[in-house]
Amino acid sequence: MSEHIDRFDPRETTQLDIRRLSPALVEAARQLPSATLHEAAGKVGALPAAIKPAAPSFRVCGSAVPVHAPGGDNLWLHRAIYAAAPGDVLVVSVADAYEYGYWGEVMSTAALVRQLGGLVIDACVRDGGLLEGIGFPVFARGLAIQGTGKDFGARGWINAPTRMGGVTVHPGDLIVGDEDGVVCIPHTSVETVIAASHARETAEADQLRRLKAGETTLAIFGWE
């Protein structure tokens, strides 16, 4: 006689219909560095600095699908792959249970087939030598071989606001990650921040020109 398992219905805490950024805004943001967007937004939105690309070539940009998974369990990440839409970025918190390999070759392949935009996880992943070859962008704290479980009775959330470090990530927020780190820009301010980022890039180009012409940073910024 098989053991009865109390199953939690994931539909209770999964929201499929979210407000996503337009493709034009995502493409505009893709051209900008994460640090520039962070500064242009008023120095807000920086996700934990420990989260880095799993391969140097990885860059991520898209609408956030926040996921909260129980520590040491990756069933909700599997579910999120199929709850998300093409271009979406999974942004996963795991209640500070960092030292597990929540994601690897199989899940990257599944997410690539689904045409998702990437994964940002405040924890570790595995199969580090294979992820770059698969080509699905993964940002994580590092690599860990400790295996995860799949508790069908455990509660998680998909597309509910998720806290990551000092930032609350809401569904549909802009997520941009590169070699410097990952930033989250609130959905409602993305257009303004992109415009401010372009102005900042123009100003920095002029500052570099002046430095190469012999001026000092103290003079350029009025700190003398």
Angle between helices 23-30 and 190-212 (to 10 degrees): 20
The Cα diameter of the chain in Å comes to: 82
d(CA 114, CA 53): 20
Annotated binding site for Mg(2+): 127
For β-strands 157-158 and 60-68, DSSP reports them as antiparallel
Annotated binding site for substrate: 104-107, 126
Annotated binding site: 104-107, 126-127
